Chain A
């Protein structure tokens, strides 16, 4: 069965950096686009970034463009999100999600999330 396990979250000071990982199993990772979605405490869902199956195209929300980088290692079935110049507004649970059938960003499986807290 599909499994996505995020890691790398934690507490970081404003301006700091963090790298999140998402280990995938149970499907052919190299065949699917992957996504990061975040959820601030008590708030709704916000799409953050998408990477195509082969890493050839990457898309970012304006709120993170130039600060976050998405990448993948298909040989390790792992998705990454590099977070830089972090702000308190980046505090959220970060989910990785697998692309599914349907439109460009239909997220059919999600990880359990990893919490990033940006605070001094």
Chain B
């Protein structure tokens, strides 16, 4: 099975900060990497698919990069509604594993 790790596990940031979250796969997943946002008590929401493609309707301040085993989610200017937990997920092979999540809260 492909294991996914994320760093950091949590971070504190201020509005308008630039935030970067890293995701690493235990083996190459080429570009089959997705990013989701989950606000408390809500269902996850797809932000980025295939490492760098922005899902329709998602603000352009979200971007993704990477390939192989190392990936990054960047929020260029953090907004109040962005305080949430972010999960990466590989869609390369079953089981479709998620990372443990990165919680972004207010500094």
- Residues on A lying within 8 angstroms of B by beta carbon are 35, 37, 44-47, 50, 59, 61-62, 95, 100-113
Contact A47 B95 (CB under 8 A): yes
Among B32, B44, B50, chain A packs the most CB atoms within 10 A around the CB of B44
- Residues on B lying within 8 angstroms of A by beta carbon are 1, 32, 34, 36, 38, 43-46, 49-50, 53, 55, 87, 89, 91-101
Contact B95 A106 (CB under 8 A): no
Contact B34 A106 (CB under 8 A): yes
Task: Note all chain B residues with C-beta closer than 8 A to A112.
Answer: 43
Contact A45 B87 (CB under 8 A): yes
Contact A103 B32 (CB under 8 A): yes
Task: Give A59's nearest chain B residue, CB to CB.
Answer: B94
Contact B50 A102 (CB under 8 A): yes
Contact B49 A50 (CB under 8 A): no
Task: Note all chain A residues with C-beta closer than 8 A to B98.
Answer: 44-47
Contact A103 B53 (CB under 8 A): no
Contact A107 B87 (CB under 8 A): no
Shortest distance from the beta carbon of A41 to any chain B beta carbon, whole Å: 12
A44-B87, A47-B96, A103-B34 given as contacts; is B49 within 8 A of A95 (CB)? no
Contact B44 A102 (CB under 8 A): no
Contact A108 B55 (CB under 8 A): yes
Shortest distance from the beta carbon of B50 to any chain A beta carbon, whole Å: 4
Choose among A62, A106, A109, A111 the residue that contacts B49 (Cβ–Cβ < 8 A): A106
Task: Note all chain A residues with C-beta closer than 8 A to B93.
Answer: 104
Contact A105 B43 (CB under 8 A): no
